[in-house]
Structure 1
């Protein structure tokens, strides 16, 4: 199954209830194996499968709070290179 390449970017001011709903939608998309991100008529569909890398960062400085979350994965899962068994003597 092929998907078109593309980018999706969005930034807006939202309340915590809306942010919670968006995070729940991301969770559901990951669970079903496909994320669909869109705005207006534009959509980007991302297949989700295999192992994923999660990066979390949080900062609080001078009354400003920030949490960054990044999830990344490869569409084609490469089989890990088979390594030789360790030697024990």
Structure 2
């Protein structure tokens, strides 16, 4: 059985192209969001609090922000680990 040659460009491109979907899916699962909720929160901005002048109502809670950053790190680290095969 011969070893197939890997098209490095194709493999890297496919893995990079998959990152947004992997990230989105992981955020939805870990934050218990539906896909519509993900996209709604993606578009939402912090807005002024109508009851307290100068105070903002955040679009995401601190816990959500922290979890999203953790997920970003996981997805990035996983991609980087998968690409190590090309660094040898």
**Smaller-chain TM-score bracket:** under 0.3
Using CA pairs below 8 Å that are at least 6 residues apart, which structure has the higher relative contact order? 2
- Higher helix share goes to which structure? 2
The normalised TM-score by structure 2 is: 0.27
